[in-house]
Structure 1
């Protein structure tokens, strides 16, 4: 049986998937696991589709990158794993308005 677990993956062998200031989108609802102060355990902090900006990049268990994402509309910064995020593509120059 070949079972892939988070514990089998070491992201720190490579560079972070996201950069400081990069716009990202939540792939799933994120609930408070007890580490977010002022909110009840299980309370939704970020909804699927919410967009924010990477403001910090840390590590967890010497294995994973944890991205501090500032969800401006929600007024909170939430730590998230790579698998919980999608990049929001920047508009190409041809799609941008020319002033």
Structure 2
């Protein structure tokens, strides 16, 4: 049987997402189109290392990872990124009532 290579042995979905909706984040690396971004050529840069954006969606991939849809301010592109590809710019805390501060 073929061994499946995983980025990590940790299944992120066993814990809540690290980033919250509306949280400002920064790209840790340059991301290029792998063919899944419509209207852009394969290999075209979607975001550069250091670009900042906001988490606008949270999905999953391979029943293992969270994928954060990040809308980058400079380009307006929404790019799906893994936790390891992002750094927080600001921390959003949630109060007991569920309101963000």
TM-score bin (small chain): 0.7 to 0.9
SS of match in other structure, 1:12: helix
CA apart distance, 1:75:
1.4
2:90 corresponds to: 89
Counting only pairs closer than 5 Å after superposition, residues 1-99 of structure 1 correspond to structure 2 as 5-6=6-7, 8-89=9-90
Segments ≥4 residues shifted beyond 2 Å:
none
Q: How large is the Cα RMSD of the aligned pairs?
A: 1.5
TM-score, normalised on structure 1?
0.82
The answer to whether the Cα contact below 8 Å between 2:23 and 2:90 also exists between their aligned partners in 1 is no
- Residue in 2 that maps onto 1:96: none
1:28-80 alpha-carbon deviations (Å, 9 max, x no partner) = 00010110001111111000000000000000111100000011220111100
Equivalenced residue count is 87
Provide the secondary structure at the position in 1 that maps to 2:59: strand
Greater C-alpha Rg: 1
2:59 & 2:77 partners in 1: Cα distance? Answer: 17
CA–CA distance in structure 2, aligned partners of residues 41 and 7 of structure 1: 26
Unaligned 5+ segments in structure 1 are 91-99
